[in-house]
Amino acid sequence: MPLPEKALIDQIRRMAKPVSRPTHTGVLTGIGDDCAVLRLLPGQESLVTTDFSLEGIHFRCDWHPPDSVGHRCLARGLSDIAAMGGKPVAAFLSLALPRDLPQAWVRQFVLGLVRLAKKFGVTLAGGDTAESPDGILADIIVVGTAPKGKSVLRSGARAGDRIFVSGELGGSAAAIAQLRSKSKKKVSPGDFPRHFYPEPRIALGRALRAKGLASAMIDTSDGLSTDLAHLCEESGVGAEVDAELIPRARVGKPVREVDRDLALHGGEDYELLFTARPGKRIPSQIAGVSLTQIGQITRSRKIFVRTRSALKYELKPRGWEHFRA
Ligand code: ADP
Ligand code: MG
């Protein structure tokens, strides 16, 4: 088995260490953020992100309608552009499909993907298609732009910054919990929209960047505990989070607030997690999305959670990781 995902990426990162300076190579930010930041044109930065959607790992044909799989495939990439405060421009789709897959499935998949692309003014501009020996594999590349020097990186947080999250957390993981449960209760996409048709927070990310409100940012694709750890690691800081302040999703039928653990560790909500310098006033909502302060950045390099019982415990990343031991 390969190394656990994070250790593997760290190893590849060390092996791929650039030999000369960013201004020379044109790669301003490489491995380690939501997107790579490239200098291709004067006056602006180009953002590039790539994400797999794999049958049996990211979706299941008996759980997810094909248009939801297409929608979620592109949403993963768009959300990474949002996390940089960027504007998405074009997408590239590499597809490997098994021989016995019905064409109707493929058509609905592409419909779901291009519907979301259209909504965000993104053009599907290329890709690759091949036969898969086993299972559906889709890789999405999204390219976007940001003004020169303005992309919001994971590495900008400092001790004393406040931590905010958009929307609500745990709603996507709640759908998976329901699908996995033995209750056989029907899981309808309408009751779990954040799981089946997540809306990438492009307008919010761009507004935070344009107003200079966010000092660091990441999207919550793996789960709050894991994504906050990524942000803290890249910034060389720690954090203290108040568990009671984390906005928990209200989903399902009947509608019910998700458990705290799902909000802390459940992934694929595609909300934005960002930090703001002391003194920056953060509105309670931007672009129709609520913003909640959940804690602050500390010097310690560790992440702690405070609960109502006033007990403080160290928060270990328990979100999604491939090849976890
Ligand atoms: P995200 O969840 O935002 O898509 P990931 O956790 O997948 O980010 O990746 C973290 C960083 O590692 C990103 O900069 C990504 O481009 C990089 N990365 C992941 N896998 C590889 C790989 N196989 N080779 C090179 N870089 C990689
Ligand atoms: Mg990301």
Provide the CA 143 distance to its chain's centre, in angstroms: 15
Burial 88-125 (b: 16+ CB within 10 A, else e): bbebbbbbbbeeebeeebbebbbebbbebbeebebebe
For residues 317 and 289, which has the higher predicted lDDT (pLDDT)?
289
- Going by CA atoms, what residue is nearest to atom 3 of ligand 1? 34
Taking residues 33-42, what's their average pLDDT? 96
Q: For residue 16, with 0-12 CB atoms within 10 Å meaning exposed, 13-18 middle and 19 or more buried, which class applies? A: exposed
Nearest to 84 by CA among 194, 210, 171: 210
Answer whether 274's CB lies under 8 Å from 156's CB. Answer: no
Q: How confident is the model at residue 185 (pLDDT cuts 50, 70, 90)?
A: confident
3-class state of residue 44 by DSSP: strand
Q: What is the pLDDT of residue 167?
A: 98
Pocket probe for ligand 1: among 27, 31, 227, the residue whose CB has the most ligand atoms within 8 Å is 31
Q: What is the pLDDT of residue 20?
A: 87
The ligand with the least distance to the CA atom of 222 is 1
Q: What is the pLDDT of residue 324?
A: 82
Q: Is the CB of 80 under 6 A from ligand 1?
A: yes
Distance CA 61, CA 163 (A): 37
- Listed in sequence order, the DSSP H helices in the chain are 5-15, 22-25, 66-82, 103-119, 171-180, 193-196, 202-210, 224-235, 260-265
The ligand with the least distance to the CA atom of 3 is 1
Distance CA 97, CA 75 (A): 20
Q: How far is the CA of 49 from the centre of ligand 2 (A)?
A: 9
Whole-structure pTM value: 0.96
Q: How far is the CA of 127 from the centre of ligand 1 (A)?
A: 19
CA dist 20 → 43, 48, 146, 157 (Å)? 22, 20, 23, 25
- Going by CA atoms, what residue is nearest to atom 22 of ligand 1? 9
Respond yes or no on whether the N-terminal peptide bond of residue 88 is cis (omega within 30° of 0): no
DSSP 227-238: HHHHHHHHHT-E
pLDDT, tens digit, 9 for 90 and up, residues 102-143: 999 999 999 999 999 999 999 999 999 999 999 999 999 999
Distance CA 68, CA 239 (A): 35
Q: Is the CB of 12 under 6 A from ligand 1?
A: yes
Answer whether 38's CB lies under 8 Å from 151's CB. Answer: no
Q: What is the pLDDT of residue 182?
A: 79
**Token pair recorded at residue 261:** 């653990």
* E-only strand ranges, the chain: 27-29, 36-41, 44-54, 87-97, 123-131, 137-147, 162-166, 216-219, 238-242, 250-251, 256-257, 272-276, 285-286, 289-298, 303-306, 312-314
pLDDT, tens digit, 9 for 90 and up, residues 200-251: 999 999 999 999 999 999 999 999 999 999 999 999 999 999 999 999 999 9
Q: What is the pLDDT of residue 152?
A: 98
- Going by CA atoms, what residue is nearest to atom 19 of ligand 1? 9
Lookup result for tokens 């950045």: 297
